[in-house]
Structure 1
Amino acid sequence: MGRPLLAALVAAAALAGAHGTARADLLDDVMKAKKIRVATDLAIPPSGMIDGNLKPIGSDVETAQLLAKDLGLELDFVQTTGATRIPNVQTNKADLIVSTLSVTPERAKVIDFTKPYAALQSVVGCLTSMQAKDWPDLKGKTIAVSRGTTQDTTLTNMRDRDLRIARYDDDATMVTAAVSGQADCVATSATIVSQIGAKNPARAFEPKVPITTFDLAMGVRKGEPRFVERLNAWISDNLRNGKLNAIYKKYHGSELPPEMRGS
């Protein structure tokens, strides 16, 4: 290969590399816009909900508000459901997911996660009068679940358990089904299970069968390492200073796991 041709190829490769590194960076974009768009489900108490003044409240809401305040950014909530959280960041409708998003290998293939900022105990909860202590006791029972959640995925993969799954579009609809008598069991967080009886004392639910405890993290579209690094630093700072633990305890009535608070 002649030297002029080789030099031309090297120059072209360098130019292509320069263009590749000049790709828009989400952290820069967010800071330049002075606004962060956060996908949060506002129909999943106590993590996200609307109060009597039609203002968003909840543990995820306050976490997003604290983040925006510390970064000096305006906060724009993008309302979402369990099924639309990830598509919102993939299609650039939101910059970030803060919405009870548990870390799973499947999700890690399509989005990037921050380090955990909270935890979620996932259970099957049923009417307190129902005798159920393990999976065989749930055989043939109809279990309500929110579509697209980790509970939905877990139960769907339990084909050998002979479970009947009733899927709902969001947690609010699922809870309504339980409150109104359409479902005697739900697969969701332990926190949500305990709230069903508050809405209808005649149909109090309690956790029956544990599924797992998930780490909850923030979700970002693939390929934004600087943004994830900045978020990780913020999470570490606010776990150490106790602010994230205080938010969690305020709404969930319990503290974050000790190993998480000490990070």
Structure 2
Amino acid sequence: MTLPRSLLRTTFAAALLACSAHAAQADQLDDIRKSGKLRVAVAIGIPLFSFTDAAMEPTGSDVETARELARGLGVKLEVVPVTTAARISTLQARRADMTISVMSITEERAKVVDFSVPYAAITIITAAPRDVKIAGYADLAGKRIGLTRATTNDTLTTKEAKGAEIMRYEDDATLITSAVTGQVNIFSATPSTMDEINRRAPGKNFEIKFSQLDSPLGIALNKGEPRLKEWVDRWVSANLESGKLNQIYRKYHGRDMPNVVVKTAQN
């Protein structure tokens, strides 16, 4: 029997509505659980936060945080190695479910991704050899300073260090190599990056000249995933309260979590 054309149109429209309703109900939290896998974008090569161990396996405080979060979801962790500059684009391209990779929570980034409540913090410093006199941004005018591209370091130094020649590197590993080999002798990074440079080139005697920022870090998520964000926020808050995230931070960084993390998460 041939159905009337009007009935076919009505049936087709109803099917479209049903598909749309199903798509609206499905979300990334469900998809992750169904897949049995959590894909986390991590920029490997950031001392203490994310690096490779002697067996060439990813480790560090961010990697262990990702591993614990995957365990909380009841799924396996898949680390998606990225460059620092690709942390957001990889997420937006859906090649990762979230990014846990030393991402400071900024207004500019929050326009394109959602952030969890802070799970850790990073201290940003300007360092140079002991005999170089630098007390603040004004002293960087006319000097060359190295940093990692697309980081809070980059944004902050570009804004404040007027007249400085800024050398941008794709990742911390390249920045470290540049400082060790003498391509730059002033850099904006973290205390852990400075420690790694001093370990590789002890004769250079790098030291902290001034602190730029103590910045809370967030887990980056795609926008439009409220259930996933709510779950991650609850997980972070619970693991801050239990001390688990502080335990991870202390294990790799040798100090307790900065108070700014706990205070911000409680607000």
TM-score with structure 2 setting the length: 0.88
Contact 1:143 1:187 in 2 (8 A): yes
In 2, distance between residues paired with 1:136 and 1:113?
Answer: 33
> Which residue identity lines up with residue 71 of structure 2 in the other structure?
K
In 2, distance between residues paired with 1:114 and 1:236?
Answer: 10
Contact 2:137 2:160 in 1 (8 A): no
Determine the structure 1 residue equivalent to 2:221.
220
In 2, distance between residues paired with 1:40 and 1:236?
Answer: 21
The answer as to 2:199 corresponding to 1:198 is yes
> Which residue identity lines up with residue 185 of structure 2 in the other structure?
D
In structure 1, runs of 5+ residues without a counterpart are 1-7
1:21 is displaced (CA, Å) by 6.3
> Which residue identity lines up with residue 98 of structure 1 in the other structure?
I
Determine the structure 1 residue equivalent to 2:188.
187
| Superposition CA RMSD, Å | 2.2
> Which residue identity lines up with residue 39 of structure 1 in the other structure?
A
Superimposed CA distance per residue, residues 71-110 of structure 1 (whole angstroms, 9 cap, x where no aligned partner) = 2111100001210000011000100100001000000000
1:190 is displaced (CA, Å) by 2.3
Helix, strand or coil: the match of 2:45?
Answer: coil
The answer as to 2:247 corresponding to 1:251 is no
Superimposed CA distance per residue, residues 11-58 of structure 1 (whole angstroms, 9 cap, x where no aligned partner) = 99xx59964862641101001101000001111111000111111110
**Aligned residue among 129, 154, 160 for 1:158:** 160
> Which residue identity lines up with residue 256 of structure 2 in the other structure?
E
| Runs of 4+ more than 6 Å apart | none
Paired residues, what number? 252
Contact 2:40 2:78 in 1 (8 A): yes
Determine the structure 1 residue equivalent to 2:3.
none
Determine the structure 2 residue equivalent to 1:231.
232
Determine the structure 2 residue equivalent to 1:171.
172
Helix, strand or coil: the match of 1:22?
Answer: helix
> Which residue identity lines up with residue 28 of structure 1 in the other structure?
D
When structure 1 is superposed on structure 2, of 248-257 and 165-174 the one drifting more is 248-257
> Which residue identity lines up with residue 115 of structure 1 in the other structure?
V
The answer as to 2:208 corresponding to 1:207 is yes
**Aligned residue among 124, 132, 135 for 1:133:** 135
The answer as to 2:25 corresponding to 1:57 is no
1:128 is displaced (CA, Å) by 2.2
> Which residue identity lines up with residue 139 of structure 1 in the other structure?
A
In 2, distance between residues paired with 1:202 and 1:140?
Answer: 25
Determine the structure 1 residue equivalent to 2:242.
241
Determine the structure 2 residue equivalent to 1:3.
none
Helix, strand or coil: the match of 2:101?
Answer: coil
Contact 2:216 2:261 in 1 (8 A): no
Contact 1:245 1:261 in 2 (8 A): no
1:259 is displaced (CA, Å) by 5.2
Q: Provide the identity percentage.
A: 41
Determine the structure 2 residue equivalent to 1:4.
none
Q: CA 1:71 to 1:17, structure 2 compared with 1: closer, same or farther past 3 Å?
A: closer
Helix, strand or coil: the match of 1:167?
Answer: strand
In 1, distance between residues paired with 2:140 and 2:260?
Answer: 33
When structure 1 is superposed on structure 2, of 109-118 and 209-218 the one drifting more is 209-218
Q: CA 1:44 to 1:199, structure 2 compared with 1: closer, same or farther past 3 Å?
A: same
In 2, distance between residues paired with 1:258 and 1:111?
Answer: 25
Alignment of 1:80-95 (within 5 A): 80-95=82-97
TM-score with structure 1 setting the length: 0.89
In 2, distance between residues paired with 1:63 and 1:129?
Answer: 38
Alignment of 1:56-135 (within 5 A): 56-135=58-137
In structure 2, runs of 5+ residues without a counterpart are 1-9
Contact 1:242 1:261 in 2 (8 A): no
Helix, strand or coil: the match of 2:124?
Answer: strand
Alignment of 1:139-154 (within 5 A): 139-154=141-156
